[in-house]
Structure 1
Amino acid sequence: MTTATTPANFTELGLISPLLNRLTELEYQQPTPIQAQVIPSVLVGRDLIAGANTGSGKTAAFALPILHNLAIQKHSERTSGSKGNYVSELILVPTRELAKQVADSIKSYSTHFNGAIKTVAVFGGVSANTQMLALRGGTDILVATPGRLLDLISSNAIKLNKVKTLVLDEADRMLSLGFTEELAELLALLPKKKQTLLFSATFPEQVQALTQELLTDPVEVQLQSTDASTLVQRVFTVNKGEKTAVLSHLIKQHQWRQALIFVNAKNSCEHLADKLHKRGINAEVFHGDKGQGARTRVLDAFKAGEIEVLIATDIAARGLDIEKLPVVINFDLPRSPSDYMHRIGRSGRAGEVGLALSLIDYEDYHHFKVIEKKNKIRLEREQVSGFEVDENITAELLAAIKPVAKPEGTGKKKRKNKASSKIDVWLNNF
């Protein structure tokens, strides 16, 4: 497992000048820990397995060295004069939104290559014909969801026999979404000799099996942040049936410029949006029943700040990078404890202070304790002024919301770092 220190700048990582110039324009000042540890290994062709907290800069960690190597090798036998629908670098992702986001990031990083490196994203929910046209003559980098990629392969729109690098991004999510058979089909079409990079937030048995099957002597990078997080987590207990009232109160009281609210079902999105509208709060919805064009428009408008409240299912829980999103709210608790961390990770990204709120009534108490146990956290239960929990709540439930006593310390005062100081200032305004 790697333990490299973070370089002072990207130049120390050995990236070529077109990439360095673009990173300067994007105001990327210092590599994140995962970038510092992943980029050197990818540059020299090592297989790699990496896990890191959400918002850690993972996309740049694999995109930058892939672009570097492609640019260096552009005039070699890999791509020079090559005909046919080849792909050189294949990046597999679980969702449409993540496919588009990763491809957009790669295109941004490659600005100074003046079109010499072609990147295409393919995913379901939109016409395959447009994507087939984009793939004519092949592509250097292909970002794809498994199902649509198999459809395009069956139509002879793309071939995988020249893939040199395979990236599996959010491998655990792909497997949990039922892409196991599709992945097996795709892997059978790939060359045996290739560089494989696997990124996963969690490592269940399926991911471990995939790792053993695909990777050869991999570099392992597992980053769990030891610095104070800039994401504040809070839990509010509410009476049964009062979640909407509390949510409306918080939105109006704090006047958040953006709030991402998670529910567990598509119809719950519409239902909650209607109830908020009746309370004078306009909200848009984001779920799987919306067409891809509508989903893209809503997401772009939310990122641009044109939508203040977005109600979404868990399709928004992974991979979406919304700059400086101030607050994420769990109106419904996620069914999977691992999805809790992915949901709240939409806020507090790249060192920005963020807030993650969860609203729980008595039916949610036990499940939230499971979420805490699985994610090794313990949060104090709080109540919203004016919406206190009924006094006739049972003693058992009172015990469930009672904060756990902190163990006695040594008496030595802990020094605050910059991150915790930022949080203190921010919380004073909450």
Structure 2
Amino acid sequence: MSAFSDFPLPIPLAEAVASLGFDTPTPVQAASLGALLDGRDVSARARTGSGKTVAFGLGLLARVDAGAGGVQALVLCPTRELADQVGKEIRRIGRQLPNLKVSVFCGGVPLRPHLASLVHPPQVVVGTPGRIQELIDEGALKLDGLRVAVLDEADRMLDMGFADDIAGILGQAPGSRQTLLFSATLPEAVRELGARYQRDPAWIEVADPDGEAIEQRFYEVESPRKTDAVALLLGDLAPEAALVFCNTRRDVQQLCDDLQQRGFAALALHGDLDQRERDEVLVQFANGSCRVLVGTDVAARGLDIAGLPLVLSHGLASDVDIHTHRIGRTGRAGLAGLALALVSGDERRRVIAIEDALGKAVRWERIDLSRRPARPAPPAMQTLVIDAGRQDKLRPGDVVGALTGAGGLDATAIGKIAGFPTRTYVAIARSQVQKAMDRLRTGKIKGRNFRIRKLG
């Protein structure tokens, strides 16, 4: 079994890996790091949660000169959520590199601040193809010094129609760059992408290390009764969190509304939400204020919730690759996961393709739709919004201090705190919400009074 110490990482990166407690690389890291550090192009199939971000993050940081200016590494991601996650991970593993700057550029927010920040360009840029192309078109982002380009979740970017943007972006980069392609699946379109932009890549396909940790169950349920089946399964299993996939935005909103009427703490995630609404939905799901997230495949791209115990397909995915991405949201990093699928008569043919991919028959279960679902338990947390954020120099520690001062809350009642430029979200144990609100409204945070309100 290999160890990170077996690879010739630059000293600052080796120290960062050790300080983060990394010892044994995951299979995709062990299989790809040698080629990455040798400067070879790499195409790797690695399921969500397998450690691919650390793999390509170490590879690109090994080639970055933090003492030099200009953009040296670029990571393209299909969604803002994945880009944010990748940016944070690269900053984390590169924290020993002095003067390293990592910037994340995604659509859904004004372009002007991004243009202003590029007056002093970072060494590493992470972003969505559309926004990166905008910045190039504006003349603000220059890739003439690019050393490494990474296409993360390449299959999803192609599914979402980013092929032209990818072509335009890579066309601005030197042909001598190292090009890395990471994908949960390797359909023909992704292989063609590699053939177009890579030179003699190392092809790496790692056997799914956690596949057996995901238990799949299939239920034959006709469409008019699927909402009843979802409510029964969620009531019986009572997961701390569940991600429910629908195939259309309309189905997402209808199912979410129905579940809310039945008492479930459910929220919808689809393309009709503006960026602030989307941020608030994801914050509540991630911090335990919402137990059930109902979304489309496109809306949930890059969603990374640690320890998600249950994924449920209200409508069976249209192809095997999408089904693979769905179930890959659970059973991560060796944790057990459960993936359920409701299958109507006209969807049965899709199961055959799933069985072919698995190499075995799927497990069918029966569900008694005559039963009443168990009463859903409320989520453990509720989210408070403070109308101030990073632009006001408000930090998580300031919020914790304001809540836990003399006569305040016990620190165990405070959950995740998410900071945005103009807003801060803090999860509070449901039984302590009113006390927290009173505390923040009557006291001050950093000597100032801010508007406080409940979310949802």
TM-score range, shorter chain: 0.7 to 0.9
Partner residue, 1:251? 234
State the match for 1:403 in structure 2: none
1:270 counterpart residue number: 253
Give the corresponding residue for 1:383. Answer: 366
1:31 counterpart residue number:
25
Distance 2:359 2:48 in 1: 16
Q: CA deviation at 1:197?
A: 0.9
1:49 and 2:49 aligned: no
Assess if the C-alpha contact under 8 Å between 1:273 and 1:282 holds in 2.
no
Report whether the alignment pairs 1:169 with 2:152.
Answer: yes
Counterparts in 2 of 1:108-127, with a 5 A limit?
A: 108-113=92-97, 116-127=99-110
The answer to whether the 8 Å contact 2:210/2:331 transfers is no
Query: Does structure 2 retain, via aligned residues, the 8 Å contact 1:122–1:149?
Result: yes
What secondary structure is seen at the aligned counterpart in 1 of 2:22? coil
Is the contact between residue 262 and residue 311 of structure 1 (CA under 8 Å) also seen in structure 2?
Answer: yes
- 1: distance between equivalents of 2:302 and 2:145? 27
1:14 matched residue in structure 2: 8
Residue in 1 aligned with 2:142?
159
User: Conserved in 2, the CA contact under 8 Å of 1:53 and 1:224?
Assistant: no
* Cα displacement (A) at 1:109: 1.8
Q: TM-score, normalised by structure 2?
A: 0.76
Offset at residue 135 of structure 1 (A): 2.1
Matches within 5 A, 1:317-336: 317-336=300-319
2:47 and 2:185 in contact (8 A); partners too: no
User: Aligned partners of 1:386, 1:313: CA distance in 2, in Å?
Assistant: 25
1:262 CA displacement? 0.4
Match of 2:89 in 1: 105
Residue 230 (1) aligns with residue 222 (2) = no
Question: CA distance change for structure 1 residues 91 and 366 in 2, over 3 Å: closer, same or farther?
Answer: same
Deviations 1:32-89 (A, max 9, x none): 011112122111211111112232111111002222332xx334xxx2xx4xxx3110
Please, which of 325, 331, 337 is the counterpart of residue 348 of structure 1? Answer: 331
CA distance in 2, matches of 1:28, 1:246: 42
Deviates more, 1:272-281 or 1:16-25: 16-25
Q: CA–CA distance in 1 between the matches of 2:57 and 2:256? A: 37
1:43/1:255 CA distance change after superposition, 3 Å: same
Q: Residue 181 in 1 paired to residue 164 in 2?
A: yes
- The size of the alignment, in residue pairs, is 371
Q: Closer, same or farther in 2 for the Cα pair 1:20/1:323, shift >3 Å? A: farther
Deviates more, 1:295-304 or 1:253-262: 295-304
* SS state at 1:306 partner: coil
Confirm or deny: 8 A CA contact 1:325 1:348 kept in the other structure.
yes
Match of 2:74 in 1: 90
Alignment check: 8 A CA contact 1:123 1:145 kept: yes
Taking the TM superposition and a 5 Å limit, the aligned residue runs for 1:192-231 are 192-225=175-208, 229-231=212-214
Are residues 1:138 and 2:121 paired?
A: yes
SS in 2 for 1:363: helix
Once the 2 structures are TM-superposed, how far is the Cα of residue 204 of structure 1 from its aligned partner? 3.3
Report which stretch shifted further, 206-215 or 96-105.
206-215
Select which of 23, 34, 41 maps to 1:40: 34
What amino acid maps onto 2:76 in structure 1?
L
Higher alpha-carbon deviation: 206-215 or 337-346:
206-215
Post-superposition offset of 1:228 = 5.9
Residue 286 of structure 1: aligned partner: 269
1:267 is displaced (CA, Å) by 2.1
Q: Note closer, same or farther for the CA distance 1:26–1:279 as it changes in structure 2 (3 Å cut).
A: farther
1: distance between equivalents of 2:127 and 2:334?
Answer: 29
Structure 2 letter corresponding to 1:96 = R
The AA in structure 2 aligned to 1:52 is A
Report deviation, 1:337.
2.2
> SS of the counterpart of 2:150?
strand
| TM-aligned CA distance change 1:270 to 1:317, over 3 Å | closer
TM-score of the pair, normalised by structure 1 = 0.81
User: What residue number does 1:63 align with?
Assistant: 57
- How far apart are residue 182 of structure 1 and its match? 1.6
The 3 A distance-change label for structure 1 pair 240 and 177 is closer
In structure 2, how many angstroms separate the alpha carbons of the residues matched to 1:316 and 1:25?
35
Asked whether the 8 Å contact 1:338–1:375 carries over to 2, the reply is no
Contact 2:78 2:302 in 1 (8 A): no
Counterpart code for 1:74: A
Larger RCO (alpha carbons 8 Å, 6+ apart): 1
Report the secondary structure of 1:120's partner residue.
Answer: strand
Q: Is the 8 A contact 1:238 1:383 kept in 2?
A: no
The correspondence for 1:368, drawn from 346, 351, 354, is: 351
- Structure 1, unaligned stretches of length 5 or more? 1-5, 389-430
Counterpart in 1 of 2:298? 315
Identity percentage of aligned residues: 37
Amino acid in structure 2 at the alignment position of 1:48: V
1:314 alignment partner, SS class: coil
Contact 1:318 1:343 in 2 (8 A): no
Separation of aligned partners in 2, 1:12 and 1:97: 33
Deviation at 1:202, TM superposition (A): 3.0
Give unpaired runs (5+ residues) of structure 2: 372-456
Which deviations, in whole Å up to 9, do the C-alpha atoms of 1:353-394 show, x marking residues without a partner? 110000123232222223333554421211124559xxxxxx
Tell me the secondary structure at the aligned position of residue 268 of structure 1: helix
Partners of 2:209 and 2:244 in 1: CA distance: 28
